[in-house]
Copies of this chain bind each other. A is one copy, B any other.
Amino acid sequence: MSALPAGSPNRRDRLRAETVQEIKDTARRVLVQRGVDGLSLRAVAREMGMTAPALYRYFSSRENLVENIVVDLYDELCAELGQAVDAARPATPPVQLLAASRAFRRWATTRRAEFGLLFGSAGDGLLPDVSAPADAPETPVQEAAGRFGGVFGGLVAAIYLERPFPTPAEKDLDPALRAQLVAWCRTLPVELPIGAMRVFLSCWIRLYGMVCMEVFGHLKFALDDAESLFEDELRQLAELLGVADAYATVERA
């Protein structure tokens, strides 16, 4: 038991980290080529000239491998959003939010299989949440999802703090809803009016719904190309946040 206090990058640890990365990269390639169901440990191992049991030296199960990939994907998505935010000109929160939204859709439509893993019903077991104890610690996947949500949340918060958009009065909200929003707000770094959190949820529901429907093919009954609808929704969201002027000044690229 060589309890190295971390720090020193043993040659062995370095090789191990490289192998872990190669496995995840290969798995992701298999995921894209063969789909979620085709993502088998044996296929991954085959692709890198190994055998399936060897993968268990690095991941405790197929499920664990998938979870690690999901976390990586969330972080990659966050990075891509951050890049779009940084590149947005003018560098104002409204324009940045539009850029992030477009980057989100682009990422989703470009990497359909990965998106399905993160936001669809396939990735996480559908049922376990029922039995999950309320005080369970957050899983790495949930943490990564939280970081992702924070990108949009932070931008909407910045927009509000700079120029408050109209929000429903706290008194007009259903008590049950208000109580939950208050509890949620307490877990966040910034403090916003409850009504603003409600508006944020509305925006996120529409963005999520729009992109999900497009990627999962549930919009084909009406439209072949959903981009124009997406842009129109984006325009409406900008109006909702009182930043329609920002939408008007940004070309659709």
Chain A residues packing against B (C-beta within 8 Å):
35-36, 112-113, 116, 119-122, 124-127, 129, 142, 145-146, 149, 173-174, 176-177, 180-181, 184, 197-198, 201-202, 205-206, 208-210, 212-213, 215-218, 220-225, 227-229, 231-233, 236
Contact = CB atoms under 8 A, between A and B. Distances in A.
Nearest to A134: B224
Given A113-B127, A209-B210, 16 more contacts: A36-B126, A116-B121, A120-B120, A120-B216, A121-B216, A126-B216, A145-B218, A174-B228, A176-B227, A180-B222, A180-B224, A180-B229, A184-B223, A202-B233, A208-B213, A208-B218
15 contacts: A36-B126, A116-B121, A120-B122, A122-B122, A129-B217, A129-B220, A145-B221, A146-B221, A174-B228, A176-B227, A177-B229, A181-B223, A184-B222, A197-B222, A206-B206
A236 B205 CA distance: 13
Contact of A229 (B112, B119, B201): B201
Contacts of A173: 232
The DSSP consensus for interface residues of chain A is helix
A199 B129 CA distance: 34
A228 B184 CA distance: 14
Contacts of A184: 222-223
The complex is assembled from copies of this chain, and their number is 2
A125 B122 CA distance: 11
Contacts of A180: 222-225, 228-229
A4 to B, nearest CB: 36
B126 A221 contact: no
A142 to B, nearest CB: 7
Contacts of A217: 124, 129
B218 A119 contact: yes
Contacts of A36: 121-122, 126
Contacts of A116: 121, 126
